[in-house]
Structure 1
C-alpha cells in the first residue's frame, strides 16, 4: 500500500523520442505537458516544463473530484534533459523538494523512463513507478532506449515474428544508396530518423525525384542512424497499448490513429468495425513485445503502432515504450467514466482550429452552452484535455460517449460551434 505522495514527472522533453538537439519539436511537445494533470491524486506534485494554466488546473481537479489545494504544480524547465545535460539541475531538484515539504514520496511517475527520472527519484528517496527501486528502473534504460528507436524496433520485431515493411537501416552517408535501392523495388519510400515520434522528421520520396541526400538533417550527428522503408498504401493507422512487468503483458486498449501527412493528430478507441479484424493480431504482437520487454527488466506502458494496407495486410511501424499521446487520455477516460458509472465507453481525441481565439474559460462555456460538455453525471461529452493552446485557437479535445456514433455526433457539434462547419 502506498504511504506517500507521487511526483508526476511530465518529461515529454526527453531524448528517448527524438534527439535533444531537436529543440523545436521538443518545445512543441513540452506544450502538451499540462495534460499529465489528469494523473494527479490528492497530495501529488506535478513537475512540468511549461506553466500549467490555472483555469485548466481547476477544471481538471473539479472533474476528477480532487480539491485544487490538494495538488501542487511545479514549473521547472531545468528539471528536464537538455543537450549536454542528461539530468535535472540541482535548483530544480530543490524546488521539487520544497514542494514536497518534507512529506514522504512514494514514487516518481514519468511520462518516459530516462536517466533523469532515476536521478530525480534517488534525490527524493523514492522509487520510479512501477519499479521496486530507482536501481531497477535504471537497469531497464537500455531496453527502453532500444525499443524507442526505429532501428531497434525493426531488429526486435523481426526476431519476434512481427511483420515490418521492407527496409534498411543506414548511416546518414549511406541513406541515398538505400533510397535508390528501395525506390527501384517499390516506387515510393519513406525516410525516418532513428529517433522520431508523432511523424516528426519523416520524408516521403517517389521514383524519378532527384535526391542525393545532401539536405538530410544530421540528426544524431554525422553517424546518426536512419531507416529507409517501402512506402505502403495505408488505409488505416492503428495501435495497441499495453503494460508489462514481472507478471507479463496486459492489453489496455486498441484504436485507430488520426494522421495528417504521417503526423499524429488524434485517436479513437475501440477499433472501428472496419479495422476490428486486425485487433487479435495486434494483441498477439503486443504480447510478444511485452514479454521481451519484461524479460529485459522493463515495467510499465508501451505500444505498437501499425498500418493496415489497402489490401488488408497488417504491418507494424514502431514501438513506443513510454506513456504516449493516448495513454494519459485513456487514464482520464477510465477515471471519469468509472466515477460516472459508464463502464467501457468509446472515446476519441482530436485537434481542432477554432475560427476565433478563445480563453480557456470561454472555451469551456461554449461547450456548456452547446450542451456537449462532459459532466460527471452525464453519459457523454467533450473535454479540453490538454489546456489552452498558445495561439488560443488550435485546441486538443477529447470525447467520451457510449459508442463511436455518439462520439462522432459530439465532434460534429464541436466543429459547428467553433468553426461553423455545418
Structure 2
C-alpha cells in the first residue's frame, strides 16, 4: 500500500472523531466490523484490531488474497471499554509488541480515523501516518478532520462551497425544540441531528403531529446543554447517495459512487455504481466532492473521504454530510478492486449489506452453506458472494459483499443468498 514499506493497519473504530466516546455502546458495535480490515493486508503488514478474528476467517481471507499467513501479523487488543484503541493497546501492554512487529522497515500507521490519540500513538511507536510524509503533517490535518466530521462544520463549509443544502439551522441543545417548531411551520417534518454522529446514529425525525400532541423531543445529552445540533427540513427522499473520493498530492479524485441503503436514516448497506435512474446527479456529486477535496487539500488533509447526499422526489440532490475518514465502504471497495484485478470481471458492480439468519451459524458453517449454494466468490470469474467481516458475535447478523457483472446480477445473487441462508424476510 506504500512505496516505502509495510503498513500497520490500525482499526481504531473506537474514536471520538465521529461520535463522542460517551456513546460507548454504538462504538463497540461498530468495532465488530474490524475484521474486514484483514482484506487490506499484504506481506509484511500488521493488523491491530479491537476484536478477535477467527482462524477460519483469516484462512478464508488469505486464501482469496493469496497472502501467506506467516508473512503478516494480527494483534488482538483485549477490551478496555469505550476508550481509543491507542489507549487500549497501552493498557494491554502491547505497545512494544506493535513497535517490534513494525520494525525498522519504513512502516506507516494506517488508521481508520485520523484523531489525536492516533497521532500520539504514532509518535510513541515512531511511525509515520499513512499517507502523510511526517507525523507533523498528519497532525496539521486534525483541525480539518475534526471540523468536517461534524454536522455543523460540514453545513457551514458546504454552503461556502456552493452545495445545495436542505433548509435548516444550527443551534444549541436547549434551542432545538424552538428551532424545530419554527421550521415545522413551513415543513411537514424535520430531522434533528447531533453535531457528531455517524451512520444515522442519534438522528430524530419530528413531525407537526409530534409537537401538536405535546410530544417532547427525546434527545441524547451528548455535548451537554451547550452541545451543537442541526435541525433541517425532512425531504421527500427518493434515494440516499454518496461519492467516495481521495485527496492525493496530485489533487482530489473520485473513486466510486453509489446508493446507500438506509432505515430511518441509519446506514444498512451500499450498492455501486449509481443506477441509471440517478445518473443525472453523478456529475453534481463529483463537482461537490472535488470542491470539498480541494478545500481539504488546502488545509493539509490527504487520504480518502466521503460525501453523502439525498435525492428528492423531484430529482434534485442535497448535500447532507461528509465523512473525512475511511468509511464503511472504503475497505470493501478496496477488497472488491483487489479480488477482481486480473479476473474476467475487472469493472464490477457490487454491494455490501447484512442479513439475519433464523438459526445461528459459525464461520465454517456459513462458508460451507455458501459454497454448497454455488454462490461463493470465484477468483477467476471475479463474481460471487464474500463473507467479508467474519462471523457475527450473535451468529445471526451476517455481513456480506456481492460482486457481479451488473446491478441486475447483484440483485440476483442477493436474492439467491437470502434463500440459501434463510434470511429473515428473504
Distance in 1, matches of 2:294 and 2:374, equals 45
Match of 1:206 in 2: 207
Residue pairs, 1:8-407, within 5 angstroms: 8-77=9-78, 82=83, 89=90, 91-100=93-102, 102-210=103-211, 215-407=218-410
Instruction: Please say if residues 347 and 400 of structure 1, whose CA atoms lie closer than 8 Å, have aligned partners that are also in contact.
Output: yes
TM-score scaled by length of structure 1? 0.95
1:396 counterpart SS class: strand
CA RMSD of aligned residues (A): 2.0
Distance in 2, matches of 1:197 and 1:5, equals 30
Change (3 A) 1:40 1:340: same
Instruction: Please say if residues 345 and 400 of structure 1, whose CA atoms lie closer than 8 Å, have aligned partners that are also in contact.
Output: yes
Deviations, residues 253-282 of structure 1 (Å, cap 9, x unaligned): 000001111111110000011111110000
Distance in 2, matches of 1:379 and 1:297, equals 37
Per-residue deviation at 1:340?
2.2
Instruction: Please say if residues 149 and 322 of structure 2, whose CA atoms lie closer than 8 Å, have aligned partners that are also in contact.
Output: yes
Deviations, residues 161-219 of structure 1 (Å, cap 9, x unaligned): 01111111111111111111111121210111100111100111000313575632211
2:379 counterpart SS class: coil
Task: Give the ranges of 4+ consecutive aligned residues of structure 1 lying more than 6 Å apart after TM superposition.
Answer: 78-81
Distance in 2, matches of 1:105 and 1:172, equals 46
Change (3 A) 1:108 1:341: farther
Distance in 2, matches of 1:165 and 1:86, equals 39
1:155 counterpart SS class: helix
Per-residue deviation at 1:310?
0.7
Distance in 1, matches of 2:127 and 2:334, equals 23
Distance in 1, matches of 2:71 and 2:185, equals 61
1:209 counterpart SS class: helix
Aligned length: 421
Gap runs ≥5 in structure 1: none
Instruction: Please say if residues 35 and 385 of structure 1, whose CA atoms lie closer than 8 Å, have aligned partners that are also in contact.
Output: yes
Distance in 1, matches of 2:420 and 2:70, equals 33
Per-residue deviation at 1:96?
1.2
Distance in 1, matches of 2:58 and 2:26, equals 24
